[in-house]
Homo-oligomer: A and B are copies of this chain.
Amino acid sequence: MKPFNLVKDIIAERGSIEEVYWVACGGSLIDLLPAHMLLERESRRIASSAYTAREFCITAPKRLGEHSLVVACSHSGNTPEVLDACALAHERGAAVVALTDDADSKIAREPLICWVYPWGADVPAGEVPSGIAPLIAAELLDQQEGYADLADLYQGVAVMDDVLPAARAKVNAELAGRFAALCREHPFLYIVGSGPNFCQTYGFAICSLMEMQWQNCCYIHSGEYFHGPFEVTEPGVFYFLQMGSSEFRAMDERARAFLEEHTDTLIVLDALDYGMDKVPASARAYLDPVLFYAMNVELRAARGKVFDHDPDYRRYMGVVPY
């Protein structure tokens, strides 16, 4: 499937799209958030909202209808909350696109547009949700209103396939050992980031560390940091700062300056040192999350080795009833 054709067909069928809802849970929701922020920032007419799937069904926005596009994602294709959300959207007459890794899953049997994506470290950035979703947003924007930075975004997505292998090697050589060692010495840590990349600040916390490593931690927005959370900073409190490469970086730079002065336990991962300078400037904000996701994967794997905790092991998810 191609974002251009997908969007073209939806617009042809609907006349126009007036609002987009990005709906998923946990890691899959995280991959949709930068696309939501792109649309919210750039569109002069389309409203955009993002929801964890259960909350979407409870809140059921009044304007959800025939001119709405719902982009849902369920990696397994069997997430009950996402299936419910897709059913609600379909019932209201919305166009529904569901991204999933499994062509044989429940979601693939629903009356919706199903985009089955491949998965794995070698899959091109444009073929997984974190690449597909911003391209859907950008195509919708371009085909309905024009989007001058569309070509830059496509180019940026392609460049990520060169950026990631080198970045993985670099983070393992330079940061992973220290990260795992600091996790040994501290019962919890704060992860700090901003802009569209805040999705991966959240993702590092809830997926890579809480879910896959049983590591206590918290996620803090670099801009909000100065309006409360910074009071907890002191030597011995462990911070991991995700420095973005885009215009949102100004917030991360301010946080870095404060953190360098007020804690002795800081790791900074600067996207500009990890290849994001090769991405066109207008696309960086939406592709920093692709970099940081890949870095999160390496860091949790490194921690997993030191703690003898396989990131694929679960004690509750899919194991006990809930």
Contact = CB atoms under 8 A, between A and B. Distances in A.
Interface stretch (A90-98, A151-159, A166-174, A210-218): A210-218
A44 B27 contact: no
A112 B227 CA distance: 23
Contacts of A247: 58
Contacts of A61: 40-41
A37 B52 contact: no
Interface string A185-228: 00110000011000000000111001110111111110110111
A41 B51 CA distance: 11
Interface string A62-91: 110000000000000001010000000000
Contacts of A211: 228-229, 231-232
A210 B223 CA distance: 15
Contacts of A254: 322
Contacts of A37: 59
Nearest to A206: B228
A27 B228 contact: yes
A206 B229 CA distance: 5
Given A223-B55, A247-B58, A212 B231 contact: yes
Nearest to A262: B316
Contact of A224 (B26, B59, B322): B26
Chain multiplicity (copies)? 2
Contact of A187 (B63, B187, B224): B187
Given A26-B227, A41-B62, A61-B40, A232 B251 contact: no
A273 interface: no
A47 interface: yes
Interface residues of A, number: 69
Nearest to A211: B228
Interface string A257-271: 110001000000000
Given A223-B55, A231-B315, A314-B231, A42 B27 contact: no
Given A187-B187, A188-B188, A27 B58 contact: no
Contacts of A228: 26-27, 206-207, 210-211, 317
Contacts of A218: 188, 205, 216-219
Given A55-B223, A205-B218, A214-B232, A44 B62 contact: yes
Contacts of A217: 218
A84 to B, nearest CB: 12
A273 to B, nearest CB: 21
Contact of A230 (B27, B47, B316): B316
Interface of A: 19, 25-27, 29, 37, 40-45, 47, 49, 52-55, 58-63, 79, 81, 187-188, 194-195, 205-207, 210-212, 214-221, 223-224, 226-234, 237, 247-248, 250-251, 254, 257-258, 262, 314-317, 322
